[in-house]
Amino acid sequence: MGFVANQMEVLEGMWIEVEEIVEVGDDRLVILIRFGGQARHTGIDVALSPGHVLDLRDGKFVRWRVFAEHQQALEAAGLRE
């Protein structure tokens, strides 16, 4: 089962939004997102801000890395927030 499907099982009213897409040269993208919802078992509101770094070669994704926080993704891509 995929990550989003797993999150949909534990979160009610799940939402996902892209906050920013940063192009790093011609071969890398940093995608900063936020997602959250309400935990099904506790009712607690949850919000997370992971960052994704995608490396490209010849217009195709060759590596996709996910980081728990925006800053970690930016640093992995050689950027500072």
CATH number (domain holding residue 55): 3.10.450.50
In-domain check, residue 81: no
Q: What percent of the chain has pLDDT over 90?
A: 80
Mean pLDDT for the chain? 91
In-domain check, residue 49: yes
pLDDT of residue 19: 98
pLDDT of residue 1: 55
Interval 48-79: pLDDT, tens: 999 999 999 998 999 999 999 999 999 999 99
Domain boundaries, position 7: 3-76
Neighbours of 65 (CB within 10 A): 14
pLDDT of residue 2: 73
pLDDT of 46 higher than 70: yes
